Amino acid sequence: MPLGSTVRAMFGPHERRVSDLYRGLFLDLDDYAAKIAGWSPGARKILEVGCGEGAVTEVLARIFPQADILGIDITPRVGRLYDGPRDRVEFRVAAVQDVARDHPGAFDLIILSDVMHHIPVALRAEIVGAIGQALAPGGRFILKDWGKAATPIHWLCHAGDRWLTGDRVSHLVPDQAKSLILDRLPALRCVEEGHIAPWTNNYTLVFAA
C-alpha cells in the first residue's frame, strides 16, 4: 500500500487542511484558477482527467458556475475531499479511454493537472489520444505539469510523488510534453504557454482544437 494512504489516515479530521497546506508548498491554486478562467472563459462542459480527491475540481466548479463537470480517476478515492456544489459536478471511477469512447467530442474543456508524470511512458500516447477523441471541435485542452529541474524544490516534489503515491514518476520538460501532445494530436494548436506560481516548475500548455 502506498505510504500516502497511511499518512492521510494519521491526520483524521484534519486531513483536508493538511492536504491543502502541503499542496500550497508547490502550487498556488488561486493563480491557476485565474489563468484557467482566462484561457477558456466560455466552457460549459468540462472533463478533468485524473482529478484525484477533487482539489482542482473544486476550483473549476467555482470559476465555471454554469458548467457541468465530470471528474474521473482510476483511484477509488475519486472526489473524496471535494467540498463544492454537487448538482452539476459528477465524480466517476473511470479511464479517459472509456469516457472518450462513450462521449466522443463532448467536452469543450479538458484539464490534465499534475498527472502526466504519473502515467507510465508506454501509456502516454494512448491517454493523449483519448483526450483528443473526447475534446469538442473548438475546445481547449489544458495540460499542467511539474517540470524537472536540479533544485531542492524539485527533489522534494519528486520524493513526495514517488513515496507518497508509490508511482514510478517520470517528469517531462515543457518541450517534451508539447511534442508528445502534438505528435499524437497534430490537429491541435498550442495557443498558450506559461507558469503557475509559486514555482516555474509549474508549467502549463494550452491547446486549441
Taking only the tens place, the pLDDT of each residue in 74-96 is 999 999 999 999 999 999 999 99
3-class DSSP assignment, residue 59: helix
Q: How far is the first Cα of the chain from the last one, in angstroms, to the nearest whole number?
A: 39
15 or 63: whose pLDDT is higher?
63
Architecture label for domain 29-159+168-208: 3-Layer(aba) Sandwich (3.40)
Q: What average pLDDT does the chain have?
A: 92
Average of per-residue pLDDT across 194-207: 97
Give the DSSP letter of residue 209: -
Give the DSSP letter of residue 12: G
Which DSSP string do the residues of 77-94 spell out, in sequence order? TTTTT--S--SSEEEEE-
* Residue 3 confidence (pLDDT) above 50: no
Cα gap 63→78, rounded to integer Å: 21
Q: What are the residue boundaries of the structural domains of the chain, listed by start?
A: 29-159+168-208
- Helices 152-165 and 3-11 cross at an angle (nearest 10°) of 90
* Residue 29 confidence (pLDDT) above 70: yes
Which DSSP string do the residues of 158-176 spell out, in sequence order? HHHHHHHH--------HHH
Give the DSSP H or E segment for 130: helix 124-134
Who contacts 117 (Cβ-Cβ below 8 Å, separation ≥6)?
145, 146, 161, 169, 170, 171, 172
Would you state the pLDDT for residue 109?
Answer: 98
Would you state the pLDDT for residue 21?
Answer: 82
Q: What's this model's pTM, rounded to 2 decimal places?
A: 0.92
Among 3-17, 58-72, 86-100, 114-128, where is mean pLDDT lowest? 3-17
Q: 93: which strand partners?
A: 73
